[in-house]
Structure 1
Amino acid sequence: MTTASVKTKSGMSALSLVYCGMFAALMMIGANITSFVPFLVVGGVPITLQTFFAVLAGLLLGSRLGAISMTVYMVVGLAGAPVFAKFHGGFGAILLPTFGFIVSFILVAYVVGKIVEKYGSLRSYIVAGLVGLVVNYVFGTNWMYAAFKLWSAAPEAFSYAVAWAWMVPPLPKDILLSILAGIFGHRMYRVLKVRRAH
């Protein structure tokens, strides 16, 4: 069976599949970067590069392929592969308060991709990166708050304000990386000429 026929039946080329797999792998590395750089743990909380790679997936692959690559990452982890932060994996991860951030990566890539599909300037890429960060924080933090209140044992004196306070340590890093992702993504897209799938 030729590559062209595979594309006709699946709607994705072999190269698209490679890109999706590559970003799924990058997400695994980004989730566990503290295994190689231990000082990126703040207050016992690992500061990962997942948001950076989720944003970059949307910038380089577009909304459809970017979202697919993040979905692949999530499904691989739920299937049992230790690809989530701290090398966690398995369907039980869906009950973790932080699982909302993993779901948010799909939305991040999709929203970021939609923005740059419509606007191709460097400014648009940077804005898209920051919008993706907002999506990640809003969705993930609200999921975490709901999880602690509904099915997970909430820490003492836990509140909505506390949930957001936990997001302060990684925020400066994520803002900087989102801006850098926009700059890098704009440059790499022009160099590699990645074909977007609308």
Structure 2
Amino acid sequence: MKKLRAIDITLVGMFVALMAIGANITSIAPFLHVGGVPITLQTFFAVLAGLILGSRIGSIAMIVYMLVGLVGVPVFADFSGGLGVILKPTFGFIVSYILTAFIIGKMVDKKPGLAIYIVAALVGMAVNYLFGTNWMYFAFKFWAAAPAGFTYKMAWLWMVPPLPKDIILSILAAILANRLEKTVLSKGQFKNLKRAS
């Protein structure tokens, strides 16, 4: 395993902080809950992590974010944290951020460019939705208290309200990452960031 550089550790910490902020945007807009699912900016930052940091460092950032929350730091949605979060139906989305960043990073590690960035961002968002929603469905079926009449279709209907937001933000993340790749990330310590990861 390649050694983490100081810049890698700094960026991992930065994205952990961004994920915590994105997770708790509902603290200033408490109405952003649908079927118990908080509408957050976590997907945006997970997508951005994969695009900017690459597969290795991006997924490490998401793993660290998950571990920080599991040890009790309130970085998850609604300022929650601790091992009990594992039993929540929405924990699958937290796990999915690792896959999202890794898959996106793999897609853009070797061949950056706006078109690739947009496709990778949307693929990563789809992975986030598929993994998280299916986890939520099985959680409600096997260990969480499901709402009356809960079905697989209902689980996906809950994901409709945040979908347009996440599509738009994923595309914006791709545009931002592409712009950063041509400016900030091509200079100084950032140069070849993804290839070094």
Q: Tell me if both proteins adopt one fold, taking TM over 0.5 as the criterion.
A: yes
Q: What are the within-5 Å matches in structure 2 for residues 153-168 of structure 1?
A: 153-168=145-160
Q: 1:180/1:42 Cα in 2 relative to 1: closer, same or farther (>3 Å)?
A: same
8 A Cα contact 2:34 2:158, kept in partner: no
Q: For 1:125, which of 117, 126, 143 is the aligned residue?
A: 117
Structure 2 stretches lacking a partner, 5+ long: none
- 2:160 equivalent to 1:172: no
Q: How many aligned positions are there? A: 190
What is the CA distance between 1:47 and its match in structure 2? 1.4
- 2:51 equivalent to 1:59: yes
SS at match of 2:147: coil
- Which residue of structure 2 lines up, in the alignment, with residue 142 of structure 1? 134
Q: For 2:105, which of 113, 137, 143 is the aligned residue?
A: 113
Q: Distance in 1 between matches of 2:31 and 2:88?
A: 24
Q: For 1:151, which of 140, 143, 148 is the aligned residue?
A: 143
TM-score between the two structures when normalised by the length of structure 2: 0.92
What is the CA distance between 1:120 and its match in structure 2? 1.2
What is the CA distance between 1:40 and its match in structure 2? 4.0
Q: 1:95/1:42 Cα in 2 relative to 1: closer, same or farther (>3 Å)?
A: closer
CA deviation string 1:128-169 (max 9, x = no partner): 110011000000000001111111111111010000000000
CA deviation string 1:146-198 (max 9, x = no partner): 11111111111101000000000000000000000000011112212231134
Q: Distance in 1 between matches of 2:176 and 2:45?
A: 11
Q: Distance in 2 between matches of 1:36 and 1:153?
A: 27
User: Percentage identity across aligned positions?
Assistant: 64
Q: 1:134/1:33 Cα in 2 relative to 1: closer, same or farther (>3 Å)?
A: same
- 2:83 equivalent to 1:95: no
Q: 1:19/1:124 Cα in 2 relative to 1: closer, same or farther (>3 Å)?
A: same
What is the CA distance between 1:46 and its match in structure 2? 2.8
Q: For 2:41, which of 42, 49, 56 is the aligned residue?
A: 49
CA deviation string 1:13-53 (max 9, x = no partner): 01100000000000000000122344544576431000000
Q: Distance in 2 between matches of 1:43 and 1:145?
A: 12
Is 14-23 or 112-121 further displaced after alignment? 112-121
Structure 1 stretches lacking a partner, 5+ long: 1-8
The Cα RMSD (Å) is 1.6
Q: For 1:68, which of 42, 60, 76 is the aligned residue?
A: 60
Q: For 2:183, which of 174, 183, 191 is the aligned residue?
A: 191
- 2:24 equivalent to 1:23: no
